[in-house]
Amino acid sequence: MEGPVRLQRILSRAGVASRRHAEELILAGRVQVNGETVRELGQRADPAGDVVAVDGVRVRLPEEATYLALHKPPGYLTTASDPGARPTVLSLVPAVPGLFPVGRLDAESEGLLLLTTDGEWGQRILHPRFGCTKEYLVEVEGRPTPGMLARLRRPMALDGGEWTTGATVRLVDSLPGRSLLRIVLGEGRNRQIRRMCAAVGHPVRHLVRVRVGAVLLGSLRAAEWRHLTWDEIARTAGGVPGDAPATPVGATPG
């Protein structure tokens, strides 16, 4: 955690209390910062330099975790290692013990990939019930008709007997021989968009993931990475700002 953040966040991440209960502790005058009692909810503190205590007992944050956003270039595998010695995404980010990619992007695709050492947070990103959607810009062959776009939006059968749960699909642009679609998924089946588009007769030419939950690809160039902010960590995991499960290395206040 870098820089001053609200006391509610510090108490929540330290496991002392929920955010709402933390507010009650502050209003009751039970929280101290550097020996001074705090009674205002807007008070901030820097965990790296300030001493935060509840009823005189110092609050200590849990073990640090790492949360990264990477712009995965084409040609890199979303795995920790490859028997064929092909390049993997872990070669593009710092060598942090326990770091793993959250979900996957196939080798031909590019765009936003999240990596973390926090297994619980990663599972929340992947499980559909937490509502973390993924957004893609997809160039396909030809121009899908309104009927084909409607078919992509509805639950549909894929090869292998799998079914999708439906998607948000919008035609962004169309040029001779190709079209650009914006697709939002609430699930992450293997090569799902490529299989969906192939099923309606419009194979994918190029695919870029531009968003995962609250995290945007933004201006990250291919092979560049950055730390996530507190707000991104909390909102992307299906929570609210201040409820992130651990202390992120290098994260900045949202």
Q: Which domains does the chain have, with CATH numbers?
A: 1-61 (3.10.290.10), 67-227 (3.30.2350.10)
pLDDT band at 108 (very low <50, low <70, confident <90, very high): very high
For residue 68, the model assigns a pLDDT of 94
Range in 28-32, 74-78, 115-119, 230-234 the model is least confident about: 230-234
The CB-side HSE value for 13 (13 A sphere, CA atoms) comes to 26
Residue 4: partners with Cβ closer than 8 Å, 6 or more residues away: 44, 45, 46, 253
Could you give the CA distance from residue 246 to residue 119 in angstroms, rounded to a whole number?
11
What mean pLDDT value characterizes the chain?
A: 86
Residues designated as active site: 106
pLDDT greater than 60 at residue 241: no
Could you give the CA distance from residue 210 to residue 187 in angstroms, rounded to a whole number?
15
Closest CA to 99 of 123, 68, 71, 76: 68
Mean pLDDT confidence for 56-72: 81
What is the pTM (predicted TM-score) of this model?
0.72
For residue 63, the model assigns a pLDDT of 58
**pLDDT tens profile 134-191:** 999 999 999 999 999 999 999 999 988 899 999 999 999 999 999 999 999 999 899 9
Residue 176 DSSP label: T
Joined together, the tokens standing for residue 152 give: 């992509």
Could you give the CA distance from residue 138 to residue 135 in angstroms, rounded to a whole number?
10
More confident of the two residues 120 and 133: 133
For residue 152, the model assigns a pLDDT of 97
**pLDDT tens profile 71-93:** 999 999 998 777 778 899 999 99
The CA-based diameter of the chain, rounded to the nearest angstrom, is: 70
More confident of the two residues 54 and 218: 218
pLDDT band at 61 (very low <50, low <70, confident <90, very high): low
Mean pLDDT confidence for 220-227: 96
Could you give the CA distance from residue 150 to residue 230 in angstroms, rounded to a whole number?
37
pLDDT greater than 60 at residue 213: yes
pLDDT band at 131 (very low <50, low <70, confident <90, very high): confident
Residue 56: partners with Cβ closer than 8 Å, 6 or more residues away: 32
More confident of the two residues 170 and 60: 170
pLDDT greater than 70 at residue 1: no
Could you give the CA distance from residue 69 to residue 252 in angstroms, rounded to a whole number?
13
